[in-house]
A and B are shown apart, each in its own frame.
Chain A
Amino acid sequence: FGTDLTALGLNLTATEKLYPSFAGPWSDRTLSVHEIDYPVPPEYLIS
């Protein structure tokens, strides 16, 4: 009967897109903002 796709940890009712915080095919959670590499201005890369 297939898989219950509503139980894969994806918020299918979300209005915004899922892929920006998609943690990958085998992760059961979405990424937090501090885990998402982002094109910040080079000056912010303090270290």
Chain B
Amino acid sequence: PLGPVSLSKSCYYQLAMLDAAAHHQIYPSDSQRLRLYLPATRYQSPSYYPQTVLPHSDTAEFFHRLSTETLFFIFYFMEGTKAQYLAAKALKKQSWRFHTKYMMWFQRHEEPKSITDEYEQGTYIYFDYDKWGQRKKEGFTFEYRYLE
């Protein structure tokens, strides 16, 4: 029963501006930090590839089932995101520990030969992100001030 109301002049101006703005698409990347490695590029992959987010892929349980290699990939290639955070949690659960100076993940290969308040010393496995592989390091001193 209210019937139409004629638009005011300012409404017509606003509508003209809005029409023009509707042509300038808002990209998801507009409001995301720049991704160094995996920019948010929308790319039409073959339809038989999974097109939607895997269910529960944003849970710690999902990450705990991923292989160590996958976790390292996510940690180093999805920097600053929730994926990196969840990958780090899953690596810690597998007894990896992040060295904040070398920025690499270390895991004890055997019980350390010595442990003090400041450090522990022994043989470790570490993931070398430069050479992209796990390496063994004997006689390594892991200073606790670099333990995340």
Residues of A with Cβ closer than 8 Å to B?
A: 21, 23-24, 26-27, 29-38, 40-41, 43-47
Contacts and interface: CB of A to CB of B under 8 A. Distances in A.
Name the prevailing secondary structure of the A interface residues: loop
Interface residues of B, number: 30
Name the prevailing secondary structure of the B interface residues: loop
A37 B26 contact: no
B80 A33 contact: no
Interface of B: 26, 28, 31-33, 36, 38, 40, 52-53, 57-58, 74-76, 78-86, 88, 98, 100, 103, 129, 148
Given A43-B100, A45-B80, A47-B36, A33 B58 contact: yes
Determine which residue in A24, A26, A44 has the highest number of CB atoms from chain B within 10 A of its CB, and name it.
A44
Determine which residue in B57, B79, B82, B83 has the highest number of CB atoms from chain A within 10 A of its CB, and name it.
B82
B26 A38 contact: no
